Amino acid sequence: MTATTDGSAGALRPRAAAASDTDPQTPVAAGVHEAAVRAVGRATDLLLAQQDAQGWWKGDLETNVTMDAEDLLLRQFIGIRDEATTRAAGLFIRGEQREDGTWATFYGGPGELSATIEAYVALRLAGDPPDAPHMARAAAWIRDRGGIAEARVFTRIWLALFGWWKWEDLPELPPELIYFPTWVPLNIYDFGCWARQTIVPLTIVSAQRPVRPAPFPLDELHTDPAHPNPTKPLAPVASWDGAFQRMDKVLHRLRKVAPRGLRRAAMNSAARWIIERQENDGCWGGIQPPAVYSVIALHLLGYDLQHPVMRAGLASLDRFAVWREDGARMIEACQSPVWDTCLATIALVDAGVPPDHPQLVRAADWMLGEEIVRRGDWAVRRPGLPPGGWAFEFHNDNYPDIDDTAEVVLALRRVRHPDRERMERAIGRGVRWSLGMQSRDGGWGAFDVDNTSPFPNRLPFCDFGEVIDPPSADVTAHVVEMLAVEGLTRDPRTRRGVRWLLAEQEPDGSWFGRWGVNYVYGTGSVVPALVAAGLPGTHPAIRRAVGWLESVQNDDGGWGEDLRSYRHAGEWSGKGASTASQTAWALMALLAAGEKDSTAVERGVAWLAATQRADGSWDEPYFTGTGFPSDFSINYHLYRQVFPLTALGRYVYGEPFADRAEGPLTEAKGA
């Protein structure tokens, strides 16, 4: 079969397989190979058909109903909630409730207290009476788990906005934090960028302690409505938790004597910080939570809803809404066009689409137009580093990320773009910026350098998930792979990254996955990177990884891992129902390690081919993406398409850039 280059998705098929690929060793392998070729063709056609006319791809980014509940609560708080939006949000939230009355934070997961409380309150706003059977079940479950008093701090902040919880019983978050210099512990740049963008506006909310009249009581969500705010015992004074809890008590007392002029100045400084970081589309950081809290904070400081900053901010929130055919309205926490586009480009080229295909050139044009060439918060720690990188979202010039930058460079390298000079300049800037963002220990985080302070996660306020951005195996692996493709295998910074990855391997042979679920994702990212950087398939670290992947392969031939592996690694590591994306990650690692002819690969490829739908897609209700490990999970709807196509393409056509390695890294630690 040959591929056309006329741009018509339906006419395109992968390039002809190499002779070695069309002469399998056994009849069984021959059947699997032919099934893989057919699956590649169907998946390729579908993915090309899903591209936007501007050149990008974007799948829905599904999280959990707290996004939808908080959107309704925001609208109630600032007085813009309307019947149509409320009805659509209620329809979605109601549809996500489980039989036991709860809401989970990921598909197939257990009921989660804070999510269930927020969903319940949102449905009360939507008009669902507390004595309705589905509401009564939820309320009973909430009371059985300790009621509102046991919810996370963020949930209780939302309730405090309406007087359903006392501000005095929430951790203090003083706006004077904005004045802390970068060398002082707990300055705002000690927090990961997503937490920083949320905490700064919340310092204003915490200082103001606003209360809007509650539209109804929530006595049914307390274990003892007469005493809804029970006092909890402090942790031992000698522990970090105990120390920070007592520090919070001191901050509560200082609040009463803090100079009012200083507090007003701090809130105004925080407001300027917020406004300076508003993106051109009105959002903040391209993610929904900071936008929500920034709108509330500015509103409390007197910015009316017709102010240009507020109008743009509110309009941006509407763009997070996904309207479904049944009239339901789902809120995305974020949108992922850059990430989806670079992954789709990699998948299509690895699956045999000609690198000069018009749709790939359009994708490259769009990615080149998304390059960020101005400084953001990352420059606080790297003031002398020239900009050059890519963010995750449509608009997020303040926070390019290292992971997207690495994958965009890998995608651009696969495309034969007519303007080679433009391409080389952009790639050069991206590589230079990525190298400059390496942390002291040799690894790479997602957004910042050396964002590893142990203190932010200890604050009583920070119980909503990870709030720092230390180096991770998956991000480091993607950078190392990119550097290898760029011919920098022997660069000392690449070698430091390789050594970091080898040191981070788990005893069982896997790697922890920070931004994907979990050990399967980490291992699927690291093994191709190490091989690209010159480690041979016989290296002990590679063999341990192969052995681990083979040991956790499911009986059906696929791979899967439940999100509970973040809390219970021994019980859940590498274990879960088979999914298309996780099976693809395992196959990408095994293929990179030279295991194409192995039984494990054959069974995995057969599972992907057998579970593909007639239209070329795969079904994947499971959440395989990660926001905060164990606390915030993501179902990237395009993962089920791009990763299986990448894995099957590499199975049929071989590993990309196989001739780029500069020889084994015998100098690497453990080699």
CB 539 within 8 Å of CB 671: yes
Angle at 138 between CA 572 and CA 149, to 5 degrees: 80
403: annotated active-site residue: yes
- Max Cα–Cα distance, the chain, nearest Å: 82
Q: What type of residue is 152? A: R
Q: What SS3 class is residue 380?
A: helix
Q: Tokens 């009805």 identify what position? A: 87
**Hey, what are 276's tokens?**
């300076």
Nearest to 580 by CA among 552, 601, 555, 611: 611
Query: How would you class 213 by CB atoms within 10 Å of its CB: exposed for 0-12, middle for 13-18, buried for 19 or more?
Result: exposed
Q: What type of residue is 647? A: A
* 3-class DSSP string for 190-253: HCCHHHHHHHHHHHHHHHHCCCCCCCCCCHHHCCCCCCCCCCCCCCCCCCHHHHHHHHHHHHHH
Catalytic residue among 45, 397, 403, 404: 403
Nearest to 117 by CA among 66, 183, 167: 66
Q: What sign does the CA torsion over 339, 344, 347, 350 have?
A: negative
Q: What SS3 class is residue 451?
A: strand
Q: Tokens 């009583």 identify what position? A: 460
What does the alpha-carbon distance between residue 124 and residue 590 come to, in Å, rounded to a whole number? 50
**Hey, what are 510's tokens?**
């896997």
Taking the CA atoms of residue 171, residue 176, residue 181 and residue 187 in that order, the dihedral angle to the nearest 10 degrees is: 20
**Hey, what are 39's tokens?**
């699956």
What does the alpha-carbon distance between residue 459 and residue 660 come to, in Å, rounded to a whole number? 47
Q: H helices within 486-552, ranges in order?
A: 492-504, 519-532, 540-551
CB 605 within 8 Å of CB 32: yes
CB 471 within 8 Å of CB 439: yes
CB 330 within 8 Å of CB 235: no
Nearest to 76 by CA among 68, 237, 221, 625: 68
C-alpha gyration radius of the chain: 25
- Non-local CB neighbours of 94 within 8 Å, separated by 6+ positions: 123, 126, 128, 134
Q: DSSP assignment of 30-68, as one string?
A: HHHHHHHHHHHHHHHHHHHHT--TTS-----EE--THHH
Query: How would you class 158 by CB atoms within 10 Å of its CB: exposed for 0-12, middle for 13-18, buried for 19 or more?
Result: buried
Q: What SS3 class is residue 463?
A: coil
110 C-beta neighbours (distance < 10 Å), count: 11
What does the alpha-carbon distance between residue 227 and residue 155 come to, in Å, rounded to a whole number? 18
End-to-end CA distance of the chain: give it in Å, rounded.
42
Query: How would you class 427 by CB atoms within 10 Å of its CB: exposed for 0-12, middle for 13-18, buried for 19 or more?
Result: buried
Catalytic sites, residue numbers: 403
